[in-house]
Structure 1
């Protein structure tokens, strides 16, 4: 019988990702004996499969181009849905916010619109350079539709991320006049920061308080962290301890039930300690630095956008944004000396299935030991 073989070229990026996964396992199951829900296990497994599949088929330029076009198109559809919610034609997915698109919160919704808008800007620029004015006109109309709803989403994190990404868009050009434009945008960002803070001051103060409590979590386990999904389980206890020690803190009134760090870097530091955050930041920097096989400038801009957005939100806890981060990072040239070949496809499938069964059995066996803790946490966060 014919064996279908795949060619997987290992790069330094793959090694960094593998090291992070191994530390994820060590921090979660060896140092902390964490309990991972079936949903979280499936979520992590899905991201792993997406990464492996993207690394195998990343050389298909047509697939990459179609992906960017598809995201730009979906962004315009999301904008139309958002306007339908604005005019009360379509029902929102959140009881407190009128505009969420197909998402459950305006924050991730604004982030996705910003991604689509950045792609539309990139394509429009190339149509302008190529003097294809009809295509440029159509892209401008789509961009106005997406951009107007992007502003209406009121996602300040997405606004900041797009402004910085567009600044780097001009910095990546060789001509100085474009770099001056990027510098002007960065100056605009610096001057607009106080306005953005005052725009939703209570929300900003709430996040500052959460970040302050995060420092307590990091200090409690600086080297091993608390393990996977430990932030939601530990935060409320850490917040209670912090308020007991600092009852008159200026942000004490902002305390509330919370399971999000609103900063991916702080969450990683809380859950995986110093080694985890170092690996995490290195993966981001290497993903931005290394070259892709197609549209490298656009890929870098999107990664910069998502990296900045992650400073103020929970990017990897929203599946579409997490998948996009994984895919963009995996789009790169195979320029490493670390290579290996001749993996029969069925062996790869068997290996992934075995990893899933082992992880699932390990988490299920410890669930009964942690039943009382899980019940308490459920009562606390409902």
Structure 2
């Protein structure tokens, strides 16, 4: 039997490669004769660079950067022979870089991502593809623009402090982007605009530490930031804040669009790189997964894309997740045959299943891999 293992990361516990490896180990313990195709996936969030590094012929360039609070962090750029650079915002702006008590989008900055982009430009890239997702920031890319030569100023002409809240006082810009004509691409499957009820602050601010008052402050600050960008940044397209993807990663999508870049599906980009279509064509069973299989999973996330591809080919698709809250009928309509939860595997919420799923995910995935092999292998 040919089994395709193509999960996303389990946020906060395991990268996609280790998820796939654990499931494969469990399967092989029961059905060692089956053929397992391992193709880890990413939609642009954490793990974007490692997944592409395995799939593409690239040169890996370590780049020192800083985290959302300005502390040293390790970044990496992938460079291809055709002049394309790949990097991910989560290496500098990721929520996983902060403890729960440090999460505050009023002060976190995307400055570290700007250091990565600047390094890619200096390395000679002609196209820079930025994976967006999993960010701890809500500064509309203001921090990112600073290492690229653009500084946000207040009414007195002073540089603003870092963080989303400070943008409430932005009045002008100093400098111009130093990107040497590089084409920027935001790889994301988030289609939110920058502002409003479905914008960056309202939808994603709470998971980054914002309360309701913070959300209103941050949304108003981003509105002012967008007005200044549109008025003062050369080449900024009119109405960019309303474009799909502008709200990705706390408004980093908006900054890319303001610089004349474009948004592209991160899942589609990675799928092409790893040859997902051919792997789906050859599979008898598809196993995918992510940390939380919920209502957002079916809106352009990895699981939705994989399940839809399997459904179109008449191939069964099983989802493994830390937690499953999607209804069976809704999941089936998306192409999901079955879904299994690590929380339930470890006894459910009332019996410590949540803690076990977070701290022993590989153990649970191996067990579920063996269970699936007993159920599905010929």
- Taking structure 2 as the reference length, the TM-score comes to 0.29
Higher strand proportion, which one? Answer: 2
- Taking structure 1 as the reference length, the TM-score comes to 0.29
